[in-house]
């Protein structure tokens, strides 16, 4: 295999699929990770010039590490790990739901952190390796909705400077990629998303291709390690007291 390789977790659907397509179009071999979306993963892989699929439940740490180990043995030039997969489940700021919190912290923070460590310890790559931790604009613009999800994204964000300082070689880069509201989520309809996703400084919808282009840019290593890109049409610069799902339903604005 002559093409550099990238693993995209949750790479079969939504933003992950856009990232997979962008890397494939740029000449990369794409490893599409999925949990339940086998049909979507295989269908996507069939459309790409160089791709394969791998199934793993990221709530199982040992299975995730075995996946990393298998890829490090097979891939001669594995340059990028995109930790994109995540759980987005509701719980309330006044009453933390422990099972929801445990799932969020495992899938959204603990497993991607451990995968990044294993990747940096063992993957072979030409010109350095890149870890891209997909977080959320809520890091800068928090609200009390989806409490455990937001907590887990803050935990994942904390790994970025620490990995950059202590787990990376000089030519490696550890980055954050923080999207805003991109696609309908939770219980949203398309019509609701059309309204809520324009609640940003530019009053426009940020597209999945913009996130994918940003991931591809970060793969170049042009930024200093430890940085985060916010791709959200300025949403993170606002103060929104609730998730935009509910701001739109309530007809509320933001400042």
CATH number for the domain spanning 13: value is: 3.40.50.720
pLDDT given for residue 251 in this prediction: 83
Q: Is 45 contained in some domain? A: yes
Digit-by-digit pLDDT tens for the chain (255 residues) are 689 999 999 999 999 999 999 999 999 999 999 999 999 999 999 999 999 999 999 999 999 999 999 999 999 999 999 999 999 999 999 999 999 999 999 999 999 999 999 999 999 999 999 999 999 999 999 999 999 999 999 999 999 999 999 999 999 999 999 999 998 888 888 999 999 999 999 999 999 999 999 999 999 999 999 999 999 999 999 999 999 999 999 886 544
Q: Is 58 contained in some domain? A: yes
Contacts of 11 (CB under 8 A, 6+ apart): 17, 19, 20, 30, 31, 32, 33, 34, 41, 44, 82, 84
The angle subtended at Cα 12 by Cα 10 and Cα 18, nearest 5°, is 95
Q: Is 140 contained in some domain? A: yes
Q: Is 255 contained in some domain? A: no
Domain span holding position 39? 5-184+205-238
Contacts of 47 (CB under 8 A, 6+ apart): none
Sheet strand arrangement including 173-179: 51-55, 29-34, 5-8, 78-83, 130-134, 173-179, 228-231
Q: Is 219 contained in some domain? A: yes
pLDDT given for residue 252 in this prediction: 60
Q: Is 252 contained in some domain? A: no
Q: Is 149 contained in some domain? A: yes
Q: Report pTM.
A: 0.96
Q: Give the total number of structural domains in the chain.
A: 1
Q: Is 28 contained in some domain? A: yes
């Amino acid at each position: 295999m002559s093409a550099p390789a990238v693993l995209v977790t949750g790479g079969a659907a939504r933003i992950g699929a856009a990232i997979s397509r962008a890397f494939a179009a740029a000449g990369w071999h794409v490893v599409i990770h999925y949990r339940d979306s086998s049909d979507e993963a295989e269908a996507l892989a069939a459309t790409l010039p160089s791709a394969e699929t791998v199934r793993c439940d990221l709530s199982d740490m040992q299975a995730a590490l075995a996946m990393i180990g298998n890829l490090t043995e097979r891939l001669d030039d594995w340059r990028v790990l995109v930790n994109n997969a995540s759980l987005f489940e509701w719980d309330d700021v006044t009453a933390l739901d422990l099972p929801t919190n445990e799932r969020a912290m495992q899938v959204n923070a603990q497993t991607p952190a451990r995968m990044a460590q294993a990747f940096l310890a063992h993957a072979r790559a030409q010109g350095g390796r890149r870890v891209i931790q997909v977080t959320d604009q809520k890091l800068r613009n928090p609200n009390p909705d989806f409490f455990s999800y937001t907590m887990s994204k803050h935990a994942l964000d904390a790994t970025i400077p620490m990995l950059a300082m202590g787990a990376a070689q000089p030519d490696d880069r550890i980055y954050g990629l923080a999207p805003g509201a991109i696609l309908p989520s939770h219980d949203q309809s398309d019509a609701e998303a059309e309204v809520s996703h324009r609640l940003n400084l530019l009053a426009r919808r940020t597209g999945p291709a913009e996130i994918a282009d940003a991931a591809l840019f970060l793969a170049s290593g042009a930024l200093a390690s430890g940085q985060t890109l916010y791709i959200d049409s300025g949403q993170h610069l606002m103060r929104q007291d609730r998730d935009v799902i509910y701001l739109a339903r309530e007809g509320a604005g933001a400042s």
